[in-house]
Structure 1
Amino acid sequence: MTAVRAVRPWGAPLADLILDQGRIAVIRPPADRATGSATDLDGGGLLALPSVVNAHAHVDKSWWGLPWQSYGGEGTTEGRIRHERDRRDELGIPGVDITTRVLTEMVSHGTTLLRSHVDVDLGLGLRGIEVVKEAVASFDGGIEMEIVAFPQDGVLRRRGVLELLDQAAAAGAQHIGGLDPAGIDRDPVGQLDGLFAIMERRGCGLDIHLHDAGELGAFELDLICDRAERLGLTDKVTIAHGFALAQVDASRRAELLARMGEAGITFTTVAPLRLPQLPWRELDAAGVGFAFGTDGIRDLWSPYGTGDTLRIAWQFARASSVVRDEDLQRILVAATSGAGRFAGRPGHDLVEGAAAHLVLLDAENPMDALVRTPPRQVVIGNGMVLHDARVCVRD
C-alpha cells in the first residue's frame, strides 16, 4: 500500500495519506483516483484517527476463544489469585494461540499500540513474557507493545519474586509492576524500596497497581512521589487504577497531583463502574497524563471484557458526565494520540513523519466516534492493513 485515499483526519476535509516504510510521509489534498496505485486503499470518506492505545492490558491471562468458563473460586483478591493459579495450566494460560487471538480481537477494535502487564511468579518464571513476545511477533511489526513484568501474587511475601522482576528488567521488560504495597505485601516501604532499586539499577519504568482506598492509598502515592523525587526518576512511574486519588478530599488531592505533575507520574484507568472516576480536569491542570486500558479480558478474574479500549473511554466519559464537544474530544485524545507515550510512541498522531498507526471509522466527527463507538472499518499498524471489515484480511 502506498496511500490511504480520501479520508478525513480528525474530521478535517478529505485528504490522502501517503505512506512510506511504515510512516506517514505526506498528507495532501485528495488526488484523482485514476492516478492511484493498485496498492492504494480507498478510505471512502471515512473518519481517520490515530489508532486506539490500550495502556493497561493483561493479554497473557485470557481464555478468549476457549469454551465458556464459569466463574469460580472466592471473590476476594486472594481467592481470585488462588483460583487463577489452580486453573491456568489446565487452560493453557499463558499460551501463544490464545494471546494471539486476544491481540487480534484488540486490533479489530482499532488498537495497534499497547502496554500489557504479564504475570511473573514462582510458578511461571519469565515464561509468560516469552509467550507474549511470540504472539506480538506474529503480527510482523504491525502492533507494538511495552511489557510490564507483573507480580500478581505480591512482591515481598513470596521470596524470589523481587529477583524475578530484576531478571525481567535485565532481559528487556520496559517496566516492572507492583501491587498494593500495603494491602498485599503489608510492607509499603519494603515493596517500594525494592521496586525503585530495580528501576535505578536497570533503567526501567514502574507501572504499579494501586487498589488501596482512601488515605491508605494516598499514603502510598506519597511514598511513590518521595522516591521518584529523591532518585530523580522523572517520567518513569505510572499508577494503574489509583482509586484513592478520587476518594480523598480536594485539598489532599491537589497536593498529591502537584507532586505527581512535578515527577512526571502518569495514570491509567479502566473506568470502573460503581467507583468515582479519575478527576481528569484536575489531572490536566496539574500536568498529570492519563490513558485508558481494558484490564483483563475474559480471564479467571472475570468473564467480562471485549478488548475495546474506545468503549472504555466511552464508559469513562459517560460516568464523568462529559457532554461538551471540546471535552468529548479531549477524552478521545486520551484514548488515541495522547496515549502513545504509554506504548513507546510519544508522537502518535496523524501528522507527517509519524508511524502509520491509524483507524478508519464511519463517523461524522471525533465526538460522534466516541459517543457512538461505531465498528472500526480499517485498522493500519506501521503501514500494514491489519483489519479491514470490508475484506477479510486476517483469520
Structure 2
Amino acid sequence: MSNVQWLSNVKLEVGERVLPNGTVETETALFHIQITEGKITKLISTSENIPFNEDSIDMKEKLAVPTFKEMHNHLDKTYMSLGWRACTPVANLKERLAHEASELPLLADSTQQRATKMIETILANGATHIRTHVNIDPYIGLKNLEGVIAALDTFKGKVTADIIAFPQHGLLRDHVPALIREAMRSGATMVGGLDPAGIDNAIEKSLYETMNIATEFDADVDIHLHDGGHVGYYTVDKWVDIIENANYYGRTALSHSFCLGDVSIPEQEKIATRLAENNVAIMSTVPINLKRVIPPIDLLDRYGVKVNFGCDGFFDSWSPYGSGDVLEKVTRFCELTRKIDEKSLRNALKWITGGITALDQGGRKVWPNVQDDADFVFFDAASSAEVVARKPLKRTVMVNGQFV
C-alpha cells in the first residue's frame, strides 16, 4: 500500500439550516479525502476530479464522525472469553468487595486474555481511546496491571489508553500506598482513588495521600466517588482545595460523582464554578438506577465543566449487563433528559469524542480538517443526530488511515 490513499464519497456535516417552522436540519456534503501517512492531507468536494489509485476506497456516502473515547472502564474485571456466568447476589457493598477479593486470584492468570476480548469489543464499537482503572490491591499485587498492559500492547497504533492504578479495596490499608507507587513505576499512567469517606473513612487523609502520590510521579488523577449527599459534596469541595494548593489545574477527574445531583441547585452551581475554574473533569457512566440521581450533566456543561462518558465494567462480578458500546451511553442520556431535536442530539456526541464534533454550537463546520489524524467511525446515517438517536450497529472504524 502506498503512503497516499483516497477515501471517496465520504459524507461530512457542513452546516445547518432552519426551516420556516423553526426546525433545525443538518446539512451534509460529499467529499474525497486524501490520507498521507495517517493524516488528512486534502479534503475535496466530489464535484472535483481526483487522482484515484489502487488504494482508493469508495465509502459509498457513509457519514464520518470522530472516533470515540471510552473514559471509564475496568479492563481487568470482565468475564469476557470465559463463558457465561451471572453475578453472585450480595447484601451490600462490603460483601461485593469481599466476593470480588475472593475471585481475584482465580481470574488473575487470564487478565490479558479477558482484557484483549474487551478491547476488541470496545474498538469494534468505535472507541479508539480507553481509560481503564486497574485493581491494585493486597490480594494479587500488580498481576492485573501486568495483564492489562500486555493486552494493550497488542493494540498499539489502534488504541491509546490511560492506565489508572486503582485501589478498589481502599487506599489507606495494608501496604496499598506502596503498591500504588510500585504500579506507577511499572506502567500505570494515572493515580486512582475510591470513596475517601465510604471506603477509606478518612476524607482528608485519603485525598492528600492521593495527591502526594500524583505529584511524586507527575501523574494525573481520576477518583471514583460514590459517596453521596453532603459528605460527597464536601469531598469534591475539599479536593478542589487540594488541587489549588498543589497547582494541579487541568490534571484531575472525578468519576460518578452522584453527590453533585444530591444537593440544591445553588450548591450545584457553586461547585460547578469551582470545577470549571480548576478544569476538573467529571466521568459519568449514565447508570440506570431509579433510586439514584446522576450528576447534573447539563448544568455542569453549561458552566464549562468537561464531562465524558464511559461504559464502566461490564459482564463481571458487579454486573452481567453491558455491551461495550459507549455510544449507548449518549443515547441513554439523551433519552433520559428528553433531548429529541436535531441540534441537542448532534451536540451530545461530544461526551464520547473528547469534545470534538463536526459542527460547533452555531452550526459551523469545525471537523475534520487538513492535518487532523485520519481517525473516523463511518455509519449509514443522515447525520450525527441520527447516530445518537438510533445508534446504528453497523460501523466501520479507521485509525491513522487504517481500517481496523
Tell me if both proteins adopt one fold, taking TM over 0.5 as the criterion.
yes
Structure 1 residue 113 and structure 2 residue 129: aligned? yes
CA distance in 2, matches of 1:307, 1:243: 22
Q: 1:169 to 1:163 in 2, by over 3 A?
A: same
Shift of the 19–255 alpha-carbon distance from structure 1 to 2, 3 Å rule, reads same
Which residue does 1:291 correspond to in 2? 308
Select 2:258's aligned residue among 237, 240, 243: 243
2:269 equivalent to 1:254 = yes
**Pairing 1:36–2:52 present:** yes
Structure 1 residue 330: Cα displacement? 1.8
Q: Which amino acid aligns with 1:105?
A: T
| CA offset digits 1:109-139 (Å, max 9, x no partner) | 1111111111111222223222222212212
CA 123–339 in structure 1, closer or farther in 2 if over 3 Å, else same: farther
Overall identity of the aligned pairs, in %:
28
Looking at structure 2, the residues matched to 250 and 93 of structure 1 have their Cα atoms a distance apart, in angstroms, of 47
Distance 1:219 1:339 in 2: 32
Counterpart-to-counterpart distance in 2, 1:209 and 1:32: 52
2: CA distance, partners of 1:370 / 1:212? 31
CA contact (8 A) 2:259 2:295 kept: no
User: Which residue identity does 1:241 align to in structure 2?
Assistant: H
Matched, 1:67 2:70: no
Residue number in structure 2 paired with 1:7: 10
8 A Cα contact 2:308 2:354, kept in partner: no
Q: Which residue among 375, 379, 383 is the counterpart of 1:365?
A: 383
Query: Alpha-carbon deviations, 1:141-200, whole Å to 9, x = none?
Result: 1111111111110100x2211122222234442211100000001011111010011122
Write out aligned runs for 1:82-97 (5 A).
Answer: 82-92=98-108, 95-97=111-113
Determine whether 1:159 maps to 2:174.
yes
Find the aligned partners of 1:38 and 1:276 in 2 and give their Cα distance.
54
Q: Pick the structure with greater CA Rg.
A: 2
Other structure's SS at 2:169 match: coil
Scaled by the length of structure 2, the TM-score of the pair is 0.88
- Identify if the C-alpha distance between structure 1 residues 242 and 204 changes in structure 2 by more than 3 Å, giving closer, same or farther: same
Matched residue of 2:313: which SS?
coil
**CA–CA distance in 2 between the matches of 1:384 and 1:122?**
41
**Distance in 1 separating the partners of 2:77 and 2:110:** 6
User: Which residue type is aligned with residue 82 of structure 2?
Assistant: L
Q: CA 1:105/1:33 → structure 2, altered by over 3 Å: closer, same or farther?
A: farther
Structure 2 match to 1:25: 41
Check whether the contact 1:73–1:83 (CA below 8 A) recurs between aligned residues: no
Query: Structure 1 residues 322 and 377, CA, compared in 2 at 3 Å: closer, same or farther?
Result: same
Give the direction of change, closer, same or farther, for the CA distance of 1:173–1:138 in structure 2 (3 Å limit). Answer: same
- Contact 1:62/1:93 (8 A) holds in 2: no
C-alpha deviation, 1:201, in angstroms:
1.6
SS in 1 for 2:355: helix
Between the aligned partners of 2:109 and 2:6, the Cα distance in structure 1 is 39
Q: Distance in 2 between matches of 1:150 and 1:69?
A: 25
Partner SS for 1:212: coil
Measured after TM superposition, the shift of residue 93 of structure 1 is: 5.9
Write the distance in 2 (CA, Å) between the matches of 1:154 and 1:205. Answer: 19
Aligned residue number for residue 212 of structure 2: 197
Counterpart secondary structure, 1:207: strand
Displacement of 1:70 after TM fit? 2.3
Asked whether the 8 Å contact 1:55–1:339 carries over to 2, the reply is: no
- 1:226 Cα deviation after fit: 0.6
Q: Which residue does 1:128 correspond to in 2? A: 144
CA root-mean-square deviation:
2.1
TM-score by length of 1: 0.90
Shift of 1:73: 4.4
Q: Which residue of 2 aligns with 1:393?
A: none
Paired residue type of 2:7? V
SS in 2 for 1:48: strand
What is the distance in 2 between the residues matched to 1:289 and 1:379?
25
What corresponds to 1:380 in structure 2? 398
Q: Distance in 1 between matches of 2:331 and 2:390?
A: 8
> Is 1:265–2:283 an aligned residue pair?
no
Q: Which structure 1 residue ranges, 5 or more long, are not aligned?
A: 341-347, 387-395
Query: What is the distance in 2 between the residues matched to 1:382 and 1:92?
Result: 33
Q: Do structure 1's residue 307 and structure 2's residue 324 form an aligned pair?
A: yes
Q: 1:218 matched to which residue of 2?
A: 233
Provide Cα deviations, 1:325-366, integer angstroms capped at 9, x if missing partner: 2221221122124179xxxxxxx9632222222100111111
CA deviation profile, 1:55-108 (whole Å, cap 9, x unmatched): 111111101122111211414222222222222333456521221111111111
Residue 76 and residue 325 in structure 1: after superposition, are their counterparts in 2 closer, same or farther (change >3 A)? same
Q: CA 1:34/1:19 → structure 2, altered by over 3 Å: closer, same or farther?
A: closer
Matching residue within 62, 77, 87 for 1:46:
62
Instruction: Point out 4+ residue stretches in structure 1 off by more than 6 angstroms.
Output: 31-34
Q: How far, CA to CA, are the matches of 2:367 and 2:206 in structure 1? A: 37
Range with bigger deviation, 283-292 or 128-137: 128-137
Q: Is the 8 A contact 2:6 2:32 kept in 1?
A: yes
Q: Report deviation, 1:289.
A: 0.3
